[in-house]
Structure 1
Amino acid sequence: MRSLNTASQPTKPRPEPVAFTRSELTRILSVYGYFVAAGEWRDYAIDHLKDAAVFSIFRHASELPLYRIEKRPALAKKQGAWVVVSMSGAVLKRGHDLAQVLKIFDRQKLKLAT
């Protein structure tokens, strides 16, 4: 009978979840703060998953998110690591640069996107 000695078996390190850097979060919160001040957005949530970091924007805390700003490093060389997704699941903007992706929230463009 073999003994299951877990101490001798190598363990696989858990991959670190994807997270926003301080500068990325500062940029996202700047846009968020502008729309909070305008009374259009009221709440947000941040999720750090194994393959993505997600900043969800809500009009009311009890609703589905209006928008999701996602960082997906696995797509960085293909379509770009950044994506803005609407409530319906439609991809509104995708790219390699966060500043360019966040331009979807310019006043005129936001009215067209909703």
Structure 2
Amino acid sequence: MNSFTPLSQPGPAQDVTAFQRKELNVILALYGRMVAAGEWRDYGISSLRDVAIFSVFRRSAEHPLYRIEKRPKLRNRQGEYAVIGMDGQILKRGHDLRTVLRVLERKLIRAVE
């Protein structure tokens, strides 16, 4: 008997980190405002084993401008949410998603002025 588990079967090997609906609503509300301001044009979502990533692009063929990451293993440390810039620098990290996303909303205020 082979102990190999095919990738198509759900189970412990298939556990992934994903954004919950409430989290996506918060992120997509910001995304919509940034699209309306002409700053962002595309996004991508990745759900991996240890991290969920919402990537924001100015154009779909580029590297992401920002990555919004959720890492549940960091929940009890510096916070499970982070905004990471194009250069890999962590712009903001914390326990509350809305608070962490404020670093991007400041850019929206500058874009509208």
Pairwise TM-score range, normalised by the shorter structure: 0.7 to 0.9
What amino acid is the match of 2:68? I
**How do residues 11-90 of structure 1 correspond to structure 2 at under 5 angstroms?**
13-90=12-89
Q: TM-score, normalised by structure 2?
A: 0.85
Task: Give the CA deviation at 1:13.
Answer: 2.8
Kindly tell me the number of residue pairs found equivalent between the two proteins: 105
List alignment gaps of at least 5 residues for structure 1.
none
Alignment identity in percent? 52
What amino acid is the match of 1:73? P
- CA radius of gyration, larger in: 1
Task: Compute the RMSD of aligned alpha carbons.
Answer: 2.1
> Runs of 4 or more off by more than 2 Å in structure 1?
106-111
List alignment gaps of at least 5 residues for structure 2.
6-10
SS for the counterpart of 1:83 is strand
The CA distance in 2 between the partners of 1:26 and 1:48, in whole Å, is 16
